[in-house]
Amino acid sequence: MAELQLQHLDKIYDNNVQAVYDFNLDVKDGELIVLVGPSGCGKSTTLRMVAGLEDISRGALLLDGKDITQAPAKDRDMAMVFQNYALYGHMTIYENMAFSLTLRKEDPNVIHKKVLAAAEILDLTSQLNKKPSQLSGGQRQRVAMGRSIVRNPKVFLFDEPLSNLDAKLRSATRREILLLHKRLNATILYVTHDQTEALTLADRIVCMSMGHVQQVGTPLELYDRPNNIFVATFIGLPPMNMFETVFEDGQLKGKGFSVELTDEQKQLLSGYVHRKITLGVRPEDIAEGGSLEIRVTNNENLGMNTLVHGFLGDNFHITAKLRGWSDNKAGDSLPVHFKRMHFFDPETTNAIRKEAE
Amino acid sequence: MNEATTRLDRMRYTKNTTSSRLALLAIVCNVLFFISLYKSDVGTYYYTILIGASIIYNLVFMLATFLASEGVKNYQKGYTWLLLVLGCGQILRIFIYPMQGHNTMIGGAPVIGNGQFIRMIIYLSLSAACLFVSAVINWRKSRALTAHIASVEAVKA
């Protein structure tokens, strides 16, 4: 059992800069939580507070119901994997993995069994006699994970572990982390700025901005039902298109274009008549054919899909993700329609939803 | 895997630090020996070809022992012989300078006095003992490890 509760956590530095505001989260046993957000949003600070590497200014941290807010890092029974691996260059992989247990003066035979078991899980058995400099980035990251596994901690903390890897290796290591999570059924707190990592790995995602939690939910919830404009534009690649519109005559009217709404959508927006509404449309929710016209500026053919960049109406940048190969040229006019739309209040930036939602 | 097998298996990934450190300790004892030898004021007694040879031998000894310490660290059986030869050399040296110096009288007094003589014998004996023990440990461990690796590979095959 390893249930982690973060209750009203604040981080205020000595110079009165507040990095984290009122962070609340209940992490269930065996859950993989990903903290995602742009640089400087407070996700790593939160992780470091959980690890005990940063003091918690306000709030409480509970592990299995026990308050560990003031406990030193070594007594928290958590293992952290860093972006830069933090391996000892003069030690072999075996010695690196055994190091924390050796420091605790555990029986060498027990250490040996734990290291071999971890190496087996991570497919590192043949590398145990090598030095870190002889391994690839992905292998080094696996060693860093192995060093955590041998400790058998209650909670694993990953601080952007894949950021130093190239795209191909990142994808492979991501799959390994996922398999590892399933195999160990470990409670994991994982920090990344890469939304692909967040969407593919997480049981639940915590999306952060400027020290505030913007939304907590499953990857599908964040993608499908973003709470606000920040989450809508941060989750999803390419990001959601946003258009300033006004709700009039049962239509959303932007400069140079208008969008017809269904009865259900009109009812949803009934409180916004003659008011501004930010219309959000994901690039993959745009399909060819319809009354809207994109003035194409350039195409990015990706094989399976084509990203069409251009302008909608007077001067709204738009990106459409169309199926298959497309040969639009700059200046072409491409008729499209929106298959799905999201509505946001431009004043609060919050999503406009039914009361029940 | 039982305890004994685990202990053997550990050697596949850990260094033979006992043998290696004993070899380094032998160097330290040798250093203490030649410090004791060269610091004494014995007039012209040392100005012979033997003292030159002694200096060169000390350099060779330290280099060879250091190499052996690195070799035995990785359970290389061949270095056992080198350690044994170096150990025998240290025993032989007792009968050259300390003994000769102690038995040679200049102006009615021995070149090397009783206290210095005993200290030098202790240093050389300790150095030799370290080398012998290091060699024996390495021999036993490397044999056990070779057999263990063979059995592991046989199981794999």
pLDDT in tens, A301-319: 998 999 999 999 888 999 9
Question: What's the average model confidence in pLDDT over A57-83?
Answer: 93
**How far, in Å, CA of B78 to CA of A303, rounded?**
61
SS3 content of chain A, % helix, strand, coil (to 5): 30, 35, 35
Locate the chain A residue with the closest alpha carbon to B74.
A129
CA-to-CA separations, B29 to A107, B35, B132, B134, in angstroms, rounded: 32, 10, 14, 14
Residue B33 inside a domain? The answer is yes
- What pLDDT sits at residue B128? 98
- Torsion angle (degrees, nearest 10) of CA A277, A278, A282, A283: 110
In a domain, B2, yes or no: no
**Residue B10, in any domain of the structure:** no
Q: What is the pLDDT of residue B79?
A: 96
In the predicted model, what is the mean pLDDT of residues B130-138? 98
Summarize the confidence of residues A15-36 as an average pLDDT.
Answer: 95
Q: Please choose, from the candidates A80, A79, A111, the residue with its C-alpha nearest in 3D space to the C-alpha of residue A97.
A: A111
List A19's β-bridge partners, or say none: none
Residue A62 CB contacts under 8 Å (≥ 6 apart), including other chains? A4, A5, A7, A68
Mean pLDDT of chain B: 91
- Please, which pLDDT band fits residue A171 given cuts at 50, 70 and 90? confident
Select the more confidently predicted residue: A130 or B45: A130
Does any domain span residue B12? no
More confident residue, A222 or B113: A222
Interface test with A, best of B3, B7, B10 (most A CBs within 10 A): B10
Which chain A residue shows the shortest CA-CA distance from B7? A109
A84 vs B138, which has greater pLDDT? B138
Amino acid at A56: I
Q: Does B2 touch chain A (CB under 8 A)?
A: no
Mean pLDDT in residue range A249-266: 92
**Mean pLDDT value of segment B73-83:** 95
Q: Considering the domain boundaries, does residue B125 fall inside one?
A: yes
pLDDT tens for residues A280-290? 999 999 999 98
Q: Does B5 touch chain A (CB under 8 A)?
A: no
Cβ contact A213:A234 at 8 Å: no
Contact pairs from chain A to chain B, CB under 8 Å? 23
Segment B100-124, tens digit of pLDDT: 888 888 778 888 889 999 999 999 9
**The predicted structure's pLDDT at residue A357:** 53
**d(Cα B118, Cα A245) in Å, to the nearest integer?**
101
Q: Is B54 exposed, middle or buried (0-12, 13-18, 19+ CB in 10 A)?
A: middle
Question: pLDDT tens digits, residue range A40-68?
Answer: 999 999 999 999 999 999 999 999 999 99
Flag whether residue A109 sits within 8 Å of chain B, measured between CB atoms: yes
Enclosing H/E stretch for A321: strand A316-323
Q: Average of pLDDT values for A108-126?
A: 92
Do the Cβ atoms of A51 and A78 come closer than 8 Å? yes
Q: Does B74 touch chain A (CB under 8 A)?
A: no
- For the cut 90, the answer to whether the pLDDT of residue A4 exceeds it is yes
Look up the pTM and report it: 0.82
Q: B153 pLDDT exceeds 70?
A: yes
Mean pLDDT over B21-40 rounds to 92
What pLDDT shows up at residue B44?
Answer: 65
Is residue B43 predicted with pLDDT exceeding 70? no
| Domain presence at residue B6 | no
Chain A contact for B12 (CB, 8 A cutoff): yes
| Domain encompassing residue B118 | 17-156
On the question of pLDDT at B47 being above 70, the answer is no
Q: Output the pLDDT for position B23.
A: 98
Cα–Cα distance measured from residue A11 to residue A224, given in angstroms and rounded to the nearest whole number: 31
Q: Do A92 and B6 touch (CB under 8 A)?
A: no
A23 pLDDT higher than 90: yes
Residue B63 located in a structural domain: yes
Q: Taking a C-beta distance cutoff of 8 angstroms, is the pair B132, B68 a contact?
A: no
Domain-located, residue B3: no
Q: Is the predicted pLDDT of residue A153 greater than 60, yes or no?
A: yes
Mean pLDDT of all residues in chain A?
Answer: 92
Tell me the domains of chain A and their CATH numbers.
4-233 (3.40.50.300), 240-344 (2.40.50.140)
User: How many separate domains does chain B show?
Assistant: 1
In this predicted structure, the answer to whether residue A36 has a pLDDT above a threshold of 70 is: yes
pLDDT for the residue numbered B42:
60
